[in-house]
Amino acid sequence: MRDVVVVGAGPAGIHAASLLAQAGLDVVLFEAQNRVGERAICSGVLGDEAFGRFDLPTHPILADIRCIQAVSPGGRTLEHRTDVPLARVLDKGEFNRAMAQQAICAGVEMQLGCWVNSLEVEKHSVVINFRSTGAGPSRLRAQVAVITTGVNGSLNRALGLARPRQFLRALQTELTLPPNGNGGATRVYVGQGVAPGAFGWEIPLGNGKWRVGLMTEQDPEPYLAKLVRRIAPHTDISTLRVDRKGIAQAPVGRSVTERVVAAGEAAGHIKTTTGGGIYYGLLSAELVADVVTRAFRKKSFTLGTLGEFERYWRSTFGNELMVGYFARKLASHFTDRQIDSFFEVARATDLLVRLNGRLKFDWHHRALLATLRALLTLPGGVGAS
């Protein structure tokens, strides 16, 4: 009998496992890949606030983001620039491996190449059924299981746990480009012709390398090809490695049952505005570690005890998820002409300056609500058209 089994070695799972081990619990972390971070598909952008808040490794940082430009369908731009980093761009695989090393130092037992097929909740334990590379089926018992498997929802479905309201489809590649005249800014491209329902991105990695990708409600492949042609007209997309990922949007249902908790992306704890999962995943991991640690002190692993996690995450960042989701859904109905009109009005009225006190990289709902009010009330704005 082990104390806790964590399933999935992304940032949320590793951070939760590390905190639980630091609290004196016997923790095993299962990861299906043979190497942590082996297929870490992510834009790798993480707000600067996270590094101080979570004491994260800094050596996987590739570049700083100090300027973000939003680009309208007609080529109009809105720019937010600061003297200090807004965010950092990571080598995500190396970031995960650095976190994993910290977890091992904290006492976590790491089991790589182990795929968890199912969880069975019994009266006095949860049974983890798994298979490992080069071996047959095995099982292990623990007091508690924490699911942090990202967007793979098979364990959630079997236990009736949280599911996303919607999945966006994301593609990303890397390009080597000459200087593009934007001063190294991260660019966000919006419009129905760019990425219906979401946006595209162009992120500097340094040394002339850029991450280019998009997420959308529709088939993303033709839109990525179009975006690559726009940014690098002479590039043959068929020669590029393209990574694919589903982006969960706004969870429906509970993230807890007896002896089992889902956290991070597995619980839909992803920024619904940008699709970023690292920051809220780390927050989610801290909350789940606190609840599970107190459950061991009480020797109670019931839905009533572990259910505190549900209340904690909803009160901490639940508003962010729902406001971001409905704001993105509202914006997805704007025509390209309306988006261009908004960019014009925003520039003419210095909207970003007026929003400056509300603009935070990982906390969006105040800025979104203020922008919505501006859309509806500014003379000549989208709301007036």
Tell me the pLDDT tens digit for each residue of 228-243.
999 999 899 999 999 9
Task: Check whether 327 has a pLDDT greater than 70.
Answer: yes
Bridge-based pairing of strands 186-189 and 67-71 is parallel
Task: Look at residue 82 in the predicted model and tell me its pLDDT.
Answer: 87
Q: Residues 325-338: what's their mean pLDDT?
A: 92
Helix (H) or strand (E) holding 90: strand 87-90
- CA-closest candidate to residue 367, choices 318, 315, 320: 320
Report the C-alpha dihedral over residues 61, 321, 332, 355, rounded to 10 degrees.
-70
Please give the Cα distance from 67 to 187 (Å, whole number). Answer: 9
pLDDT, tens digit, 9 for 90 and up, residues 6-60? 999 999 999 999 999 999 999 999 999 999 998 778 899 999 999 989 989 999 9
- Residue 383 pLDDT more than 80? no
Percent of the chain clearing pLDDT 90 (strictly above): 78
Domain 2-62+89-165+248-328 in CATH 2.40.160.100? The answer is no
- The Cα 298–Cα 12 span in angstroms is 24
The pLDDT, as a whole number, for residue 366 is 75
Residue 374 clears pLDDT 70, i.e. is over it: no
Count of CA atoms in the C-beta half-sphere (13 A) of 241: 6
Q: Which of the four pLDDT bands, split at 50, 70 and 90, describes residue 186? A: very high
Beta pairing, strands 163-176 & 2-7 = unpaired
Q: Are 313 and 267 in contact (CB under 8 A)?
A: yes
Mean pLDDT (the chain, rounded): 91
How many H-runs (helices) and E-runs (strands) does the chain carry? 12, 18
SS3 352: helix
Q: Buried b vs exposed e over 200-213: b needs ≥16 C-beta within 10 Å?
A: bbbbbbeeeebbbb
CA distance 294 to 114: 28
* Residue 178 confidence (pLDDT) above 70: yes
Q: Are strands 27-31 and 126-132 parallel, antiparallel or unpaired?
A: unpaired
What's the mean pLDDT in 87-107? 97
pLDDT tens figures, 127-149: 999 999 878 899 999 999 999 99
Sheet with strand 199-206: strands edge to edge: 77-81, 67-71, 186-189, 199-206, 209-216, 163-176, 243-252
Model confidence at 183, in pLDDT bands (50, 70, 90)? low
pLDDT tens, residue by residue, 254-290: 999 999 999 999 999 999 999 999 999 999 999 999 9
Indicate if the pLDDT at residue 378 is higher than 70. no
Residue among 29, 35, 66, 36 nearest 48 (CA)? 66
Residue 375 confidence class, pLDDT cut points 50, 70, 90? low
pLDDT at residue 385 greater than cutoff 60: no
Q: Does the domain at residues 168-246 carry the CATH identifier 2.60.40.1760? A: no
What element of type H or E holds 199? strand 199-206
What per-residue confidence (pLDDT) applies to 67? 92
